[in-house]
């Protein structure tokens, strides 16, 4: 095939390109992913029933704020990484902030509590359920986000994969928070923070393979 012929073919009757196409695809994937996560948390696992009692609302809010602080910046960085080009790395620090924040708050609450309580604060009753649920619930949003990023043109696949994992893990954690009754900050720091990082790591490992184009 002659390159001139290809150029003629590609430029014949070119369509107008929608400026918002990329954002719409990614936002759509996130929206569908959020619905799936919500369904998994409220229908499959069941929402927490003790939501009116004591400190429950405050802890639910804390978990949701943590998950949102992880997911929202990660989503905006992912939009940038889905486009070809070099990207400033300063953003990475911003992505780490919520993790640093929750570890800081967890440390403060540990210092204020007597040492014999620590075991219960770390492990709660449902650490294993949390450890399994967040990564498993994250699978569907991860697949959707990867699909959306594949419609774009990432040139740093490992980083883009990691961000896709981070977004999916954050969404999944927000959903799991609606079910989870373990109300302690050290628990959130370890089992929420840890599983979200696990999702990020999985995304980084899978990215180069899943996102090639």
Partner 1 sequence: MSTNEQELKSLMTAGLDGDAAAYRALLERLSAHLRNYYRGRLARAGRGAFEAEDLLQEVLLAIHTRRHTYDRAELFTPWVHAIARYKLIDYLRRTNASHGDVPIDDAGELAAHADHDGVESSIDLGRMMAQLPVKMQRAIQYVKLDGLSVAEAARRSGMSEAAVKVNIHRGLKALSAAIRPGVAS
SS3 per-residue string spanning 49-89: CCCCCCCHHHHHHHHHHHHHHHHHHHHHHHHHHCCCCCCCC
Candidate list 11, 53, 112, 119; residue touching partner 1; CB under 8 A: 11
Q: How many residues lie near partner 1 (CB under 8 A)? A: 31
Lookup: tokens for 25: 């695809």
Could you say whether residue 136 binds partner 1 (CB under 8 A)?
no
Inter-residue contact 207 to 84 (CB < 8 Å): no
What is the nearest approach in angstroms of partner 1 to the Cβ of residue 4?
7
Phi, psi of 26 (to 5 degrees): -65, -45
Inter-residue contact 70 to 101 (CB < 8 Å): no
Candidate list 37, 60, 82, 202; residue touching partner 1; CB under 8 A: 82
Among residues 184, 162, 163, which one has the least CA distance to residue 63?
Answer: 184
Could you say whether residue 148 binds partner 1 (CB under 8 A)?
no
What character string, x for contact with partner 1 (CB under 8 A) and - otherwise, covers 88-117? ------------------------------
The H or E element that residue 179 is part of is none
Could you say whether residue 8 binds partner 1 (CB under 8 A)?
yes
Inter-residue contact 179 to 47 (CB < 8 Å): yes
Candidate list 40, 60, 152, 190; residue touching partner 1; CB under 8 A: 152
- Binding segment (CB under 8 A) for partner 1, from list 96-104, 148-156, 175-183, 193-201: 148-156
Segment 19 to 48, residues that bind partner 1, using CB under 8 A:
19, 21-22
Residues in touch with partner 1 (CB under 8 A)? 1-19, 21-22, 82-86, 152-153, 155, 212-213
């Amino acid at each position: 095939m002659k390159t001139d012929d290809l150029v003629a073919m590609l430029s014949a009757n070119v369509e107008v390109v929608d400026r918002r196409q990329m954002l719409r695809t990614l936002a759509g994937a996130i929206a569908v992913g959020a619905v799936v996560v919500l369904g998994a948390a409220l229908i499959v696992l069941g929402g927490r029933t003790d939501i009116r009692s004591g400190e429950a609302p405050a802890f639910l809010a804390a978990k949701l704020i943590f998950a949102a602080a992880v997911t929202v910046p990660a989503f905006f960085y992912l939009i940038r990484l889905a486009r070809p080009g070099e990207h400033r790395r300063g953003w990475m620090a911003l992505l780490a902030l919520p993790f640093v924040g929750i570890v800081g708050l967890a440390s403060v609450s540990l210092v204020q509590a007597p040492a014999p309580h620590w075991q219960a604060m770390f492990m709660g009753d449902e650490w294993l359920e949390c450890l399994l649920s967040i990564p498993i619930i994250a699978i569907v949003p991860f697949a959707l986000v990867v699909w959306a990023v594949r419609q774009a043109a990432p040139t740093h696949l490992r980083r883009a994969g990691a961000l896709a994992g981070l977004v999916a893990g954050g969404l999944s954690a927000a959903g799991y928070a609606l079910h989870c009754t373990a109300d302690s900050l050290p628990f959130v720091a370890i089992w929420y923070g840890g599983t979200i990082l696990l999702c990020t790591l999985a995304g980084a490992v899978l990215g180069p393979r899943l996102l090639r184009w």
